[in-house]
Chains A and B, each alone.
Chain A
Amino acid sequence: MKIDHTQPLEYSTDQNQLNILGFWIFLGAEIMLFATLFTAYFTLEGRTGSGPTPADIFEITPVLIETFVLLTSSFTIGLGVHAMRLGRKNAMLTFFGITLLLGLGFLGVEIYEFTHYYHVGATYQTSAFTAALLTTLGTHGAHVTLGLFWGLFIILQVKKRGLTPENANKSFIFSLYWHFLDVVWIFIFSFIYLKGMMM
């Protein structure tokens, strides 16, 4: 494996560069995936049948907590990558750990939110609106869940094998994924929750 020391560790081999570009292209596909979910949501948000409307079920407090937690986790993973570039392995692991804890917190609030919807009569089967809402949130939530496992595996690997070019590459790509989930959340926050509560 040829290592190019003029580059940051995560870019330092040919395969690493391929992985990063490939992941960006995957994120392009993810943009379309979430765009499709948003299309469904916008089309169906007014079609509530006999069920509740968005304004009936949305609550500002859990949404604010989720937003703040996820924004902060996006910040900490950015700091994690920065620490990694400085070669500060322990600082990096700490930031990654904080990120995952915040992600776990986000997921907890989201689970609370889903049970709340269930109790106010907005289940998966209630109407086209609830199905579109829960599928969009659920897809994002599933991404976060997957990210928690992935991030945990990366922490374990960095701990065990150190900051190798391979691990740095994995960590960087994971940070891209995590930031992307934050971007998606910004759109969910703005155009599902705030828009729904405004109407």
Chain B
Amino acid sequence: MEFFERFAIPHPSPMIYASMVAIALVSIGILVGITYFKKWGYLWHEWFTSVDHKKIGIMYLISALIMLFRGGADAILMRAQLSSPEMKLLDAQHYNEIFTTHGVVMIFFVVMPFIFAFMNLIVPLQIGGRDVAFPRLNALSFWLFFAGAMLFNISFVIGGSPDAGWTSYFPLAGNDFSTSVGTNYYMLALQISGIGSLMTGINMITTILKMRAPGMTLMKLPMFTWSALITNVIIVFAFPVLTIALLMGTTDRLFGTNFFTTGNGGMDMLWANFFWVWGHPEVYILILPAFGLYSEIISTFSGRNLYGYKSMVGSMVLISLLSFLVWTHHFFTMGQGAFTNSIFSITTMAIAVPTGVKIFNWLFTMWKGKIRFTVPMLYSVGFIPLFTIGGVTGVMLAMSAADYQYHNTMFLVAHFHNTIIPGVLFALLAGLTYYWPKFFGFMLNEKIGKSTFWLVAVGFVLTFFPMYITGLDGQARRMYTYSEETGFGPLNMLSFVGSALFAIGFVTLVYNLYYSFKNSPRNIGSDPWDARSVEWATHTPIPEYNFARLPQVASSEAFWDMKKKGHKLFTGELKEIHMPNNSGVPFVLGIIFFIAGFSFVFALWVPAVVAVIGIFVCMALRSFEQDHGRHINVKEIKEIEAQYEEVPGNEDRSHTTTRV
């Protein structure tokens, strides 16, 4: 019995017990359902072992949406707890756990997989390629992310959630002050999913540098792919810092080392330093792909090519370097001298310049354009003013002297949500709506989509703008309650109302997926938005090999050139196509990593060692394996291509492309 006590929740409450039951029931339901409908074989062959970038992208997308609801539930609980003074909904410990998991889940398990979903779905298509450079590694990245996400989420019902904030500052996160295994979960889950992210970074850079279609020089890359390239460069150089910081945090907690302790020479500030050396570039890892999506959407729905292509690229390259030069602004008040703070104040303000350049470019793209206010465009148009407000408050926070007033208040919380929500979340929802028809063959309902936009946008403003005021009045972040005398009550109630609207917005999003699946017409062709870049030049649904012939590209908008200027996109003879084989090893490795992580969390050394050996055995097997993939011959390609002509609504392409 003693052995099992370690798995108990240290601070149980009826809510957690109810969730345990719900999680158990849902899991059993899913397993029974799959068995009943005999879908195991389908899942295994079509999804779990798939190395197809499109399927991996869709798996990222589904995981991100599920995690969004987990993170969103945390958020609404926090707003409910703060909605009026002295609320008794959550106690201090639960509030700590919830703001911690909200942050971690949203950053690592919602936004990261969401951007990886778009990179996987779009980058190979935009460069006119057939897959990524290392398809098997790509599958492994996904399963490592998934193992990390699952490991993090079971902390909630086995052993206790982390409670030291998403930044997990030491010494708070050390053994003395965080006695439950929660922070172990944090360290290991992020380690596992971080390894996956690093692999994606290497994979995507190689893909973009080496696998572009004929004629597509770097300066003819569509803007989303450029943003993906820069993002992955940042990932490759930033994530190793997190790897080491997490390694040190783990050894501090499990093996009694003294990196971040307060005794024997340990330096707690070193954690904060490493965390933000990784953490600030991470901010740009989140926002740059979003900028890429906005660029695609704004140029499509303004009917104009992107204004200032070169300055867009230049500003992103500059951001990739500057993003590594500003990290101290996350802890201006933690003891370093005025000289250091001044340097980092200046670099922080400097990084606003390339971002500003991009804002003007989008505005000039819309200038004199024939704007179509579709749902993706609404998000993009809403993004520009709202994000600018977030950017301006960021410049306020960048002044290190003034930061002593703002730091650790709701003002900061308002600021970063004001950049992340209009900046990243809007882009992801816009991108979801925009690319949905390409990958699922039907469009999302515009009317419901517009109401989602308005609910989310108004909900966002009502939730976060009041926090600027309460923050300046001194309401501290991460405090589970406040007294009536502070006068924060009414504005916090307004925030709660806003977050409720936000939540309703997400319900309408889910309803939209269901409604459109049931009702949307399927004969939409392959280019429903009248778009501009090459990813729209292939069929819908996209054949396994993406393009029967690789496109011949002469500009960043080759598809538009084809439609309007008679550019020949697909020429030449059909050739045999080489495709990678599926593999179950990435999935198995994901499970082994999960077991290893779980064993480390609870210091169960025997299974931990066995699992680590299992990882190396998988690597050894891979070394000896000979897998040269398979070939799709010309006859098969012709058969597949012929199917598309029979689909009604697809004839819109046949007069412009040379068909088989």
Contact = CB atoms under 8 A, between A and B. Distances in A.
In the complex, A touching B (Cβ < 8 A): yes
Given A40-B248, A131-B251, A132-B259, A22 B206 contact: yes
A48 B236 contact: no
A125 B630 CA distance: 52
A29 interface: yes
A36 B202 contact: no
A28 B236 contact: yes
B45 interface: no
Contact of B240 (A32, A129, A135): A32
Interface residues of A, number: 42
A25 B206 contact: yes
B263 A49 contact: yes
Given A49-B264, A125-B255, A128-B264, A36 B206 contact: no
Contacts of B256: 124-125
A170 B202 CA distance: 17
Interface string A43-56: 11001111100000
B133 A28 contact: no
Interface stretch (A59-67, A76-84, A98-106, A149-157): A149-157
B514 interface: no
Contacts of B263: 49
Contact of A153 (B265, B620, B626): B620
Q: Counting chain B CB atoms within 10 Å of each CB, which of A33, A40, A131, A154 scores highest?
A: A131
Interface in A104-152: 124-129, 131-132, 135, 149-150
B255 A124 contact: yes
Given A21-B206, A150-B623, A131 B258 contact: yes
Nearest to B620: A153
Given A1-B628, A22-B203, A33-B243, A128 B210 contact: no
B258 A127 contact: yes
Interface in B249-273: 251, 255-259, 261, 263-267, 270
A129 B209 CA distance: 41
B351 interface: no
Interface string A149-185: 1100110110001000010001000000000000000
A14 B205 CA distance: 16
Chain A contact surface mostly? helix
Nearest to B243: A33
A25 B266 CA distance: 33
A153 B210 contact: no
A47 B269 CA distance: 13
B133 A22 contact: yes
Contacts of A39: 274
Interface of B: 133-134, 198, 201-203, 205-206, 209-211, 236-241, 243-245, 247-248, 251, 255-259, 261, 263-267, 270, 274, 277, 616, 620, 623-624, 626, 628
19 contacts: A25-B201, A26-B202, A29-B202, A30-B240, A32-B237, A32-B238, A32-B241, A33-B244, A36-B243, A43-B267, A44-B265, A47-B267, A49-B264, A127-B264, A131-B257, A131-B259, A135-B257, A153-B620, A161-B626
**8 closest residue pairs by CB, A with B:** A47-B265, A49-B264, A128-B265, A33-B240, A131-B257, A49-B265, A36-B244, A32-B240
Given A29-B198, A49-B264, 7 more contacts: A25-B201, A29-B201, A29-B237, A32-B236, A49-B263, A125-B256, A127-B264
